Amino acid sequence: MSGPTILVVGPGKAAVDAAIEIRDQGAEAVLVIPRFPYPGLPEVLPGIDVLSEHELLRLDGGPGDFRAHVISSGNVTEVHCAAVVMAPEPLPPMPSGTAGVMTLHQACCEGIPHSVQQLVIFLGPEADRPSFVRAVDLAIKACALPAHPRVWLFSEEMQAYGADELLYADAQAAGVTFVRTNGPVTLNTDPLRIGAVDIPSEVPINILPDLLVTDGVTDSEALSRSGPAQLLEGTVGHVSMGPVATMREGVFLCSSYDGGALEGESRTGARAAAARAVTLALNPLTRSAAVVDRDKCSACLTCVRSCPFLAARPGDEGKAVIDSTLCQACGVCVGGCPSRALSLPEDGTMGPKAGLKEGLE
């Protein structure tokens, strides 16, 4: 009987290292490489199923029974897997012909050129809260430049609370125009043009910016799709979960994305993520999520603000909803709820899934 199947998604060496480690530990590795693989990757990886020129579109299910939907040339394929390793990488350096495009990291480090008259900041659906905060702060600073450029920020609607909400309000006061893009976004590079429909107002927006700042995706076809937002929301785990864990059970992270890892450290991180994935795939854990008593919930959103794992969100009538794929049953929301509307079920302990076979087809 073959070992469990583990999906690895990424264009660079970290993804390859993770896939090799998974193979060496006796599991089945499926490596998904997008259309912009890094140069220097091996053409043949013995014992590893490689899906080149594919991208992850959506991930359903949970540990031991994930269903990954990958897309290539408009065709969607479903891959069943027990765990997932995400290995995102920054894009390779852009050619000189795309001088009107900067990454968010580059713009935050180097600043916006003073000659820019029209600036667009685009955050893809995979953008996390820290990226959104950095983008809003960058937009505010850009508005204060001597040339007083027009600034647009394209992103999906982000839940903002506390300090984030104040920053959002400061950006609006500074003159930043927010375009909420839950639908398709089109990007042309010659000339540089970005367009989308602002979802709340249903107004089409088309801009010819002097500069586009993006969180890493610059391919027009990639921008036109919604992307794996559900998978990557809150990607980085809480500090107590370890460096390769993510907010979603069964999904692990490795890469040199922050640019601070040496080659050996990056390889160690990839092998660690692979080992965690194999271990969980062989022994998936069950964890009961916190339960909301809707009759007691006062829609104060204390749980949303306090949850360290981003599992709580407002639902119908503003009442709390707990995402069972993110909830770690830590009890923080239970202890902080002023209405006593939250509780942990009696079977909230973790353990192997009953009846799960050691190997998965």
Please name each of the domains of the chain with its CATH number: 5-90+228-285 (3.50.50.60), 96-217 (3.50.50.60), 287-347 (3.30.70.20)
> d(Cα 156, Cα 171) in Å, to the nearest integer?
16
pLDDT for residue 356 is more than 80 = no
In this prediction, residue 220 carries a pLDDT of 38
> d(Cα 200, Cα 177) in Å, to the nearest integer?
13
Report pLDDT digits (tens) over 1-59: 468 999 999 888 889 999 999 999 999 999 998 766 666 777 778 999 999 888 887 88
DSSP label at 37? P
> d(Cα 263, Cα 42) in Å, to the nearest integer?
17
pLDDT for residue 234 is more than 50 = no
In this prediction, residue 286 carries a pLDDT of 66
The proportion of the chain whose per-residue pLDDT surpasses 70, expressed as a percent, equals: 77
Give whichever of 23-27, 179-183, 356-360 has the largest mean pLDDT.
Answer: 23-27
In this prediction, residue 137 carries a pLDDT of 92
Residues sharing a CB contact under 8 Å with residue 195, sequence separation 6 or more, in sequence order: 185, 186, 204, 205, 206, 207
In this prediction, residue 215 carries a pLDDT of 78
Distances in whole angstroms, Cα of residue 333 to Cα of each of 88, 236, 244, 347 = 31, 20, 24, 17
In this prediction, residue 191 carries a pLDDT of 77
Instruction: Name the 3-class secondary structure at 322.
Output: strand
In this prediction, residue 93 carries a pLDDT of 46
User: CB of 126 within 8 A of CB of 86?
Assistant: no
Whole-model pTM: value is 0.55
Give whichever of 140-144, 160-164, 200-204, 247-251 has the largest mean pLDDT.
Answer: 140-144
pLDDT band per the 50, 70, 90 thresholds, residue 352:
very low
pLDDT band per the 50, 70, 90 thresholds, residue 121:
very high
**235: closest CA among 23, 28, 87, 109?**
87
Instruction: Name the 3-class secondary structure at 157.
Output: coil
Q: How far is CA 300 from the centre of its chain?
A: 27
**What does the pLDDT average to over 132-137?**
89
